[in-house]
Amino acid sequence: MRPPIDATSDDQHTHSLPDSYLRYEHRRYGMDHDRYEWSMLVKRKPVEWPNQARIALWVVPALEFFPLDTPVKPFKAQGGMVTPYPDLRHFTLREFGSRVGVFRVFEALDKRNIKATVAFNSEVARRYPFLMEEVTRRNWEVMAHGVDMAKLHYSGLDEAKEKAQVQESLSTLREMSGQPVRGWLSPARSESFATPDLVAAEGVEYMCDWINDDMPYPFHTKSGDVVAMPHQHWISDTTILFFYKQSGADFVQQVKDQFDTLYAEAGEHGGRIMALTIHPWMSGQAHRIGFLEEALDYLASKSDVWSATGSEIMDAWKAQQ
């Protein structure tokens, strides 16, 4: 055993920290970055939706392609392959969404006269062009959702490669839809530090990856501001049913709870946005579609709800800023 150290011994060396150790170069009032300005939601200018609607209802079906050889690193997107290659069980389950489930979801929206912004992996549009036709003939909006669920955006991805992925997704979807494709939702909502700058440089006007607000706000990029839209991750069928493994009834109740809170707040503070993400491979199953229909019935039950696309909501918000 070593003898105790004599605090007065010459062997003791005292070291003082440099002043820079406790300095944080980004520390300032509000935010520690320059992507957006700090603000409190309740102090912002109230928004009025068309026809005095309290809620802008924004439904986003996500059409995704999960490659059979999805890599494990850096991580797998929610819904990625599970068992060793070839994971045909989960591959075909995800494919079910684009073959069968999507038509149940679209029919449920049609019956309730609810329009949608459809988030497309460009690989889905390329493999299943009839799905693009189904969306555009309804005059719904197409939103970019990357290339596929294996081509993620993350820190460490070569920027040139990420730029190519952004361009591939947007160019394919713009050509096939004939739309400007103004919105972006990253696969797995994952970004690198460069993603906002890359999508803005390609003409994207709003993005949905940041879930830190209930209303839109300006988001700074190297190509000017885009709009960060409140497309919440928690009110999603895959998050509730797949990730948290809750029941269909739980999904319906949480959609109702989300809507009720936003609806009440809109009565005091101005219009709010109710965003709902739907994955056809999940909610399009025969034993689950009834729960989605129940949730949609509730959302469509009030007269002061405005069913709109992401671009329509963004335009109405921007016009009042």
pLDDT above 70 (res 27) = yes
Task: For residues 321 and 313, give the distance between their C-alpha atoms in angstroms, rounded to a whole number.
Answer: 13
Any domain includes 293:
yes
Mean pLDDT for all residues in the chain = 94
Tokens for 169, please give them: 């997704």
- Provide the domain count of the chain: 1
Domain that residue 83 falls in: 47-318
Question: Which distant-in-sequence residues (6+ apart) come within 8 Å of 57 by Cβ?
Answer: 114, 274, 276, 299, 300, 305, 306, 307, 308
- Name which of 168, 184, 280 is nearest 226 in CA terms: 184
Instruction: Give the burial class of 49: count Cβ atoms within 10 A of its Cβ; 0-12 exposed, 13-18 middle, 19 or more buried.
Output: buried
10 Å Cβ neighbour count for 290?
Answer: 14
For residue 35, tell me if it sits in a domain: no
What mean pLDDT do residues 1-26 have? 64
**How far is 121 from 145, CA to CA, in rounded Å?**
5
Cα distances (Å, whole numbers) of residue 48 to 53, 303, 305, 306, 313 = 7, 15, 12, 11, 11
16 within some domain: no
Quick: pLDDT tens for 55-101: 999 999 999 999 999 999 999 999 999 999 999 999 999 999 999 99
| Tokens standing for residue 176 | 């096939």
Q: For residue 110, tell me if it sits in a domain.
A: yes
Let me know the angle formed at the C-alpha of 95 by 290 and 156, rounded to the nearest 5 degrees: 115
Q: Which tokens in the block code for residue 18?
A: 């440099």
**What is the domain-level CATH number for residue 292?**
3.20.20.370
Is residue 106 in some structural domain? yes
Question: pLDDT for 193-215, tens place per residue?
Answer: 999 999 999 999 999 999 999 99
Other CB atoms within 10 Å distance of the CB of residue 86: 10
